[in-house]
Amino acid sequence: MKGKYQKMDRRSLLASGAVLGGASLLAPLLPVWAQSGTSGSGPDMPTLTGDNIQLIVGRSPFTVGGRTGHAVTVNGTLPSPLIRLREGDNFRVAVTNTLEDEDASIHWHGVLLPFQMDGVPGISFPGIRPGETFVYEFPILHAGTFWYHSHSGFHEALGQYGPLIFDPAGTDPVTYDREHVIVLSDWSYIHPHVLFDKLKKAEGYFNFQKLTAAGLFGEDDHGQRMPLDERLMWQRMRMDPTDIADVTGSVYSYLVNGHGPGENWTGLFQPGERVRLRFINASAMTVFNVRIPGLPMTVVQADGNNVRPVAVDEFMISVAETYDVIVQPVEDRAYTLVAESSDRSGMGRGTLAPRMDMMADVPPLRSRPLLGMDDMGMAGMNHGATALDIPAGTDRATLPAIDHSTMDHSLTDRGTMPGMEEPAGADTDSMDMASMNMRDKSRAPPDMDVGPGVDMIAMNPQDSAGKPGLGLEDVGHKVLVYTDLVALSRNPDPRPPSRSLEIHLTGNMERFMWSFDGRKFSSLVEPIRFARNERVRVTLVNDTMMQHPIHLHGHFFEVVTGNPGFHPMKHTVNVLPGTRISFDLTADAPGDWAFHCHLNFHMHAGMFNVVTVRPLDGQVE
Ligand SMILES: [Cu+2]
């Protein structure tokens, strides 16, 4: 079961043809499953399978929108090949790194495996050096839709991600006539290093929708929607209510199976068929809102685990999540598959149609959501008679005026801002009270490091399991929420949690610092320790105004949705701004595991830690 390193001659490997994964050298650099016009990934489609799969990580050109850039790919394609195996089979995949000067890796996202096979350099194995091959090998214990991606440098953001399907050993409770894999992602011609550096220098750098000076004075629609006092508050906090995503459609092309919106990836169906769509959000930084206008979707699986079928018109898929849905189009017509970025700065687009020459209308981007008091963790906060929990659609002009003299900047280095003084304590105007309180470090839990890396502490974070995502509160149709997800079979561990643990998601937006409990990841940071088979309720508190998809390797946890015994089992949970969410974990996988925000740049900035589960096999407690 142990992985091993092998030396392999690259030329003979390439010549063997074993590595092509269904892609021909003459075809576009897309695997067969991802090509437009595909009839779906059924049993006769060439995929990588069997007990001797060979993958080659390398550099390849990638073209979208008529431009060509440099991608990091597996077997030459973006997305990577579809790997399809069966529960109970042996997983044996040899990965060769042909990059000239960089280590490579593959992490099998959502897969239960021995930690040495998890593929995170520095945590679970040393990484794969140039010219080296690492053989991943373990038994496949479960079925579902998963994916795989690099955990090295910015290789994932540069295109190294692909789908991984484990078919059930027995009968699949989900019946379908046809299936398509839908990998959503984001691609930029600007190197991720450059994007990251620009964000470090100026958070909001790519937010060209922000409230500009013109907007502040009411010359655009949002300027008019928000009264001056509230706009001034945002400005004074040096934050922006349009700051939904760090990197936006201004620099990203949103991809559906490697196709830009203009290339219109098309998947075929026959009217009347039950079509299974396996959605995977393989983006570096983009949360998507997915809908197929005119076609209801039935969610049947989340993060690789079956759920009771639930009918929706739209769902949010955060980075690294997967959702399987069934659609049953009965008409002989095309449907547009819309994957809007959550900040509404752009759209991934594809088509489902009976024939290749058909397409449907593409709806315009909906108006961008604005952050509100809830997203600062101040839902339902009352100061005297003034409720700060402003229901959508309320006339915000009724809010009281703001006195500039009262704002606490003790948490931040904003003391040099002109016109700002220490709070006098006399004026208790509600908004100033709010902005003071969200920076009141005395509210921090005792084990949090409250340095410059923390610019906000949620005062009254609400549980977000029942909340639709940002901008989906009143779209006028059914949007999936976590509380809709009910596990199809009873959760395996009936024990109640024996302890609880609170982890704060922390940041300084302006300086693009991201961390857990105020501590940016380094080898000096104490890991999060679980005793083997311990059952723990973990509560994630989001002390930031961004959403974070938090991913734990090597385990499924049960998102606490108020349906004990049938909580949805997930590997990634999205935590909305200023809210909290809990999961119950049985720490049954011994080893060292990565635990991190799956927004690639947040992880790189330090929102990452190691989870240790002890004792290991053969170790005495
Ligand atoms: Cu994050």
pLDDT digits (tens, 9 = 90+) for 222-276: 444 566 666 666 666 666 777 788 889 989 999 999 999 999 999 999 999 999 9
CA of 602 to the centre of ligand 1 (A): 5
Ion ligand 1 neighbours, Cβ < 5 Å: 548, 597, 599, 602
**Residue 281 and residue 287 in contact, taking contact as beta carbons nearer than 8 Å:** yes
pLDDT tens for 337-384 read 999 999 999 999 999 999 999 999 999 999 988 888 778 787 765 333
CA of 475 to the centre of ligand 1 (A): 25
Cβ atoms within 10 Å, residue 283: 31
How far is it, in rounded angstroms, from Cα 55 to Cα 79?
Answer: 13
The strand pairing partners of 278, in sequence order, are 181, 324
* Confidence tier at 515 by pLDDT (50, 70, 90): very high
- Structure token pair of residue 390: 């402003």
Domain limits, the chain: 4-172, 174-207+243-368, 489-614
CA of 508 to the centre of ligand 1 (A): 12
- Structure token pair of residue 372: 């509100």
CATH dotted code for 174-207+243-368: 2.60.40.420
CATH architecture, domain defined by 4-172: Sandwich (2.60)
CA of 319 to the centre of ligand 1 (A): 10
DSSP conformation class of 368: P
Fold: same for 174-207+243-368 and 489-614: yes
CA of 504 to the centre of ligand 1 (A): 12
Tally of CA atoms within 13 A in the half-sphere of 49 that contains its CB = 14
CA of 544 to the centre of ligand 1 (A): 9
CA of 375 to the centre of ligand 1 (A): 14
Give the mean model confidence (pLDDT) for residues 63-69: 93
pLDDT value, residue 326: 98
How far is it, in rounded angstroms, from Cα 506 to Cα 545?
Answer: 10
CA of 599 to the centre of ligand 1 (A): 5
CA of 575 to the centre of ligand 1 (A): 9
The residues, any chain, with a CB within 8 Å of residue 564's CB and separated by 6 or more, are none
| Sign of the torsion formed by the C-alpha atoms of 509, 510, 515 and 516 | negative
CA of 510 to the centre of ligand 1 (A): 14
pLDDT tens for 171-220 read 999 999 999 999 999 999 999 999 999 998 876 667 766 554 434 434 34
pLDDT value, residue 15: 42
CA of 227 to the centre of ligand 1 (A): 30
Q: Which amino acid is at 295?
A: L
| Sign of the torsion formed by the C-alpha atoms of 140, 480, 211 and 367 | positive
- Structure token pair of residue 165: 């399907």
- Is residue 419 pLDDT above 70, yes or no? no
Distances (CA, A) of 214 to 210, 219, 248, 303, 608: 10, 6, 21, 43, 38
CATH class of 489-614: mainly beta
- Is residue 411 pLDDT above 60, yes or no? no
**Residue 29 and residue 62 in contact, taking contact as beta carbons nearer than 8 Å:** yes
CA of 53 to the centre of ligand 1 (A): 33
CA of 55 to the centre of ligand 1 (A): 30
pTM comes to 0.86
Strands 144-149 and 67-74: unpaired
How far is it, in rounded angstroms, from Cα 40 to Cα 390?
Answer: 46
CA of 514 to the centre of ligand 1 (A): 7
Q: Which amino acid is at 227?
A: P
CA of 424 to the centre of ligand 1 (A): 35
What is the gyration radius of the CA atoms in the chain, in angstroms?
24
CA of 395 to the centre of ligand 1 (A): 32
61: preceding bond cis by omega (within 30 degrees)? no
